[in-house]
Amino acid sequence: MEQSMIKQRVDAVEQEISLLHETLESQGTNSRRVKGLDGNVFSLPVDKEHKATKLKILNCAKPHMRAFHASWFGFFSTFFSTFAPAPLAPVLKKSTTLGLERSQLAMGNLMSVTSNIVCRFLMGIVCDKMGARKGLAFVLLITAPAIFGMMFVQDATGFILCRFFIGMGLASFVACQVWCTQQFSKSVVGTANATAGGWGNLGGGVTTLVMGQIFVAFMGATGDNEDLSWRLCFIVPLVLHLVGAVFAYSGQDLPDGNFAALEKQGSKQKSKAGVVTKLGLSNMNAWILTVTYGFCFGVELTVTNIATQYFYEYFGLTQKTASTIASIFGLVNIFARSLGGICSDAMDRRFGMRGRLWTLFIWQMAEGAICLILGFVTLGKDAPDFTTPENVVGYAQISGWIPSSTSDAYLHVGSSDAMWVPFNGTCITERIVKCGALQVEVTDAMKACLDVRFGDVSKIVITEPPFGAGVNCVSNSDLLAPVILLLFVFSLCVQMSEGATYGVVPFVSRPALGVVSGMVGAGGNAGALLTNALFFTDDAMRTDLGFVYMGITIMIVTCSLLLVYFPDKGSMLTKAGGIPCYDPQLIQPPAGYRGADSMDYSTVDNNGVVKATPATTATTAPAGVPAQV
């Protein structure tokens, strides 16, 4: 009886201890003091594969959170460098040493996303074979010389080539997603991938927002030397690349150690590049996600490239204002992509893989619909026409001290009552394309000609005024506010679709995780190439009409998600085993082949020591007789 009571008390204590552990682990504490194969205690609670089951954003300890922070920062750096020229487009067009044409800027945009298509696929193989950590550090360093070269380009060819090579850095995205997938448990992998990817994508919004400010700062430091200032701006992305490479290399490949050490002690298989490549390329789910990702991440790359120029040309805004508004699209990444991953994980807990697929489908269809509406909002108004040499007299809306029409005195006109002054006269002539805009320097000659005392104003934008032939221009339509709102909602749907995509990718093929991630990532860049080339490089096509066509295309392509099927998890329309005769993995992995992050814990104890194998004994045999072992 007494023994029974003791046992009950022991069981109760054990149950309380177990509940205490669960409570602490839910708060991100490794209360059980679980160790990796290297003998180190993890800072986060882990599953049976030593992958973290929680994220603690303020933690940067190896291996899990160091990999997380190094991943997003490395990706952020390459995103920043790839799109750094876009906010400077108006300056690059009128640069005295470069003077790019609109078509050359468009080609630079195109090349910046084209080079990465093959690089992302190759990065997937590198991640499976050598590890995401080394792949990330390598791509940050190999693209740094092209950023340095951007400071010295003298013609359009050099500019386009530099953008081509800098764009290769976006392969860091694949390393970012693979590294996070290898460090975090499936219960939170969607959130981890989406957050790291979203914060990396944030580089596009940040560069759009700050490059103009960096340019202004260098203008002040160089005495308003515009040509030197835009070149010095590229010091910032160069420094980011170098810091990011060092940060990435300070991390750890897998929760239990680096590839080389784990392979040497036998706890990890050596990956075979040929095997993982065949497995990835023969998976139909991987190909479908490759296509659909091209119309969420690819759309983001395209809009990041064109947004500043769109607001500058269509709404008659200054370069600074246009880039600030355009940055909204990228800055939404600070939370939206994470939200897509969180939704994917939540739907998986309730509905399994079908929940993840429906989450992706709904948000990407919404993305296409909002893109369509964004184009239709301004389509009924007149837009700039860059295909005709005909242009019109430009007007500037100015304020300051204006000469009185009734006396020799000057009257002060506030910004709310600013007057329109034509930039066409005997001493100065400025013309623009119909409904277009042009930012110009305010020179002393211009001030004298107009007899307007501008004070400290150094730049103004000339447009068609809201009267006469310009009354129907987009820039005079009062549609800027709804367009900005739609841009925000559009970005929200784009980023959530991206996060939801990489909530599905980790489940496609574990033995070929890197290759599948590389394929899907490459699809993003291929989508950017297609959307740029089809909808936004032809001067004869209006930008808002491009949005309409792109929205229709997004919705059509998204329907292919209905074909994604997992034999053990089902599809959007079927349960597990619902299509018994079909396996999307057309080529099966060799017997016993595991993924790059699949560990054999039987070979090493918790202190990182290789377990001894049973000793063999040999008997002494008579002369001439082989020994028996």
Number of neighbouring beta carbons within 10 Å of residue 73? 22
Specify the range with the lowest mean pLDDT, choosing from 41-55, 152-166, 417-431, 612-626: 612-626
Tell me the HSE value of 251 on the side-chain side, using a 13 A CA sphere: 33
Specify the range with the lowest mean pLDDT, choosing from 94-108, 294-308, 371-385, 516-530: 94-108
Specify the range with the lowest mean pLDDT, choosing from 152-166, 227-241, 337-351, 614-628: 614-628
Q: What was the pLDDT predicted at 551?
A: 98
Q: What was the pLDDT predicted at 415?
A: 59
Q: What was the pLDDT predicted at 402?
A: 63
Taking alpha carbons only, the member of 391, 401, 514, 499 closest to residue 450 is 401
Single pTM value for the model: 0.84
**Residue 254, pLDDT above cutoff 90:** yes
Interval 458-515: pLDDT, tens: 778 889 988 888 999 999 999 999 999 999 999 999 999 999 999 999 999 999 999 9
Question: In 266-352, which ranges are continuous DSSP H helix?
Answer: 273-281, 284-293, 297-315, 319-331, 336-351
**Residue 451, pLDDT above cutoff 80:** no
d(CA 615, CA 520): 48
**Residue 258, pLDDT above cutoff 80:** yes
Specify the range with the lowest mean pLDDT, choosing from 171-180, 191-200, 224-233, 425-434: 425-434
Sort 82 into a burial class: Cβ within 10 Å, 0-12 / 13-18 / 19+: buried
Q: Rounded to whole angstroms, what are the CA distances from 583 to 516, 579, 594?
A: 16, 8, 19
**Residue 172, pLDDT above cutoff 90:** yes
d(CA 6, CA 166): 69
d(CA 42, CA 64): 8
Cβ neighbors of 475 (< 8 A, separation 6 or more) are 314, 315, 316, 435, 437, 463, 464
Interval 199-240: pLDDT, tens: 998 988 899 889 988 998 999 999 989 999 999 999 999 999
Give the pLDDT band of residue 611 (cuts 50, 70, 90): low
**Quick one: DSSP state of residue 209?**
H
Q: What was the pLDDT predicted at 354?
A: 96
Sort 45 into a burial class: Cβ within 10 Å, 0-12 / 13-18 / 19+: buried
**Quick one: DSSP state of residue 268?**
B
**Quick one: DSSP state of residue 568?**
T
- Is the distance from CB of 503 to CB of 359 less than 8 angstroms? yes
- Is the distance from CB of 469 to CB of 434 less than 8 angstroms? yes
State the span(s) of the chain assigned CATH 1.20.1250.20.
Answer: 64-256+270-381+480-571
In the block, which residue shows the tokens 């209905």? 562
Tell me the sheet residues that pair with 46: 52
**Quick one: DSSP state of residue 629?**
-
Q: Could you tell me the CATH superfamily of domain 64-256+270-381+480-571? A: MFS general substrate transporter like domains (1.20.1250.20)
- Is the distance from CB of 283 to CB of 584 less than 8 angstroms? yes
Give the pLDDT band of residue 629 (cuts 50, 70, 90): very low
Number of neighbouring beta carbons within 10 Å of residue 390? 9
